[in-house]
């Protein structure tokens, strides 16, 4: 069925659900799991390039090791890789290198398939690659937002619903009363995403 299944990871909590789907398939088919994290080296300031890349690669190693741990719990053979470059291109190149039978990736599954694929990387992999891609629908349930990382993930989701791909978060998210505020930048535009800390509901406001 599927001998070699590739599941890219970005280290986010949402990726875990994608990994579980890939592991289910690997168990059913007796296949091997491959996982990769692509360190996107675009737009890194010339100053401190190596320091930034080293930090990102440490993050990537940790993310792929988490996938390896989940695979070990299911007795699935796993191979990890940390790559550097444009995410969609590196994922496809790695899929070709390992002769992958299937790539498993996440999609938010909201209206407008072309606009709301997770991080737009999934869309590019589907459009430009030859390896079959299984997309896993990721719907974040509304819930209490208690940490900076959770606030950033909710903000990313809210922006993508507006067709905006978050590129950077220039400031640490902060709380005002029961509302998180996440400053986000995308293609030269800046937004404040206001998030209800109790429900997780978010509102996007363009500020410049």
Whichever domain contains 95, its CATH number is 3.40.50.620
Please tell me whether residues 10 and 62 are part of one structural domain: yes
| Cα three-residue angle 165-87-43, rounded to 5 degrees | 65
Percentage of residues in the chain with pLDDT exceeding 90? 53
Q: How far apart are CA 67 and CA 12, in angstroms?
A: 11
Q: How many domains does the chain have?
A: 2
Count CB atoms within 10 A of the CB of residue 129. Answer: 18
Domain that holds residue 82: 4-137
pLDDT at 143: 65
The residues near 177 (Cβ < 8 Å, ≥ 6 apart) are none
Percentage of residues in the chain with pLDDT exceeding 70? 89
Whether residue 123 contacts residue 92, with contact meaning beta carbons closer than 8 Å, is answered with no
The pTM (predicted TM-score) of the whole model is 0.65
Question: In degrees rounded to 5, what are phi and psi of residue 59?
Answer: -60, -40
pLDDT digits (tens, 9 = 90+) for 103-153: 999 875 433 333 333 447 888 899 899 999 999 877 655 567 889 888 998
Looking at 93, 112, 137, the residue that finishes a domain is 137
* Average pLDDT estimate for 157-171: 89
Please tell me whether residues 63 and 132 are part of one structural domain: yes
Confidence category of residue 46, pLDDT binned at 50, 70, 90: low
Please tell me whether residues 86 and 178 are part of one structural domain: no
* Average pLDDT estimate for 162-178: 89
């Amino acid at each position: 069925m599927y001998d070699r299944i590739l599941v890219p990871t970005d280290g986010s909590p949402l990726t875990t659900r994608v990994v579980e789907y890939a592991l289910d398939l690997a168990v059913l088919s007796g296949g091997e799991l491959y996982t990769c994290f692509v360190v996107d080296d675009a737009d890194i300031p010339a100053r401190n390039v190596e320091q930034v890349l080293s930090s990102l690669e440490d993050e990537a190693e940790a993310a792929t090791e988490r996938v390896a741990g989940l695979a070990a719990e299911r007795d699935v053979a796993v191979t990890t890789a940390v790559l550097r470059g444009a995410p969609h291109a590196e994922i496809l190149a790695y899929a070709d290198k390992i002769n992958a039978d299937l790539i498993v990736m996440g999609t938010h599954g909201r209206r407008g398939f072309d606009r709301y694929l997770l991080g737009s990387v999934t869309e590019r992999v589907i459009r430009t690659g030859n390896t079959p891609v299984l997309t896993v629908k990721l719907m974040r349930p509304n819930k209490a937002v208690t940490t900076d990382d959770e606030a950033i993930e909710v903000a990313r989701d809210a922006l993508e619903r507006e067709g905006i791909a978050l590129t950077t978060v220039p400031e640490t998210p902060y709380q005002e009363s029961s509302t998180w505020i996440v400053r986000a930048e995308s293609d030269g535009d800046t937004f404040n995403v206001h998030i209800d800390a109790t429900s997780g509901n978010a509102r996007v406001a363009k500020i410049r």
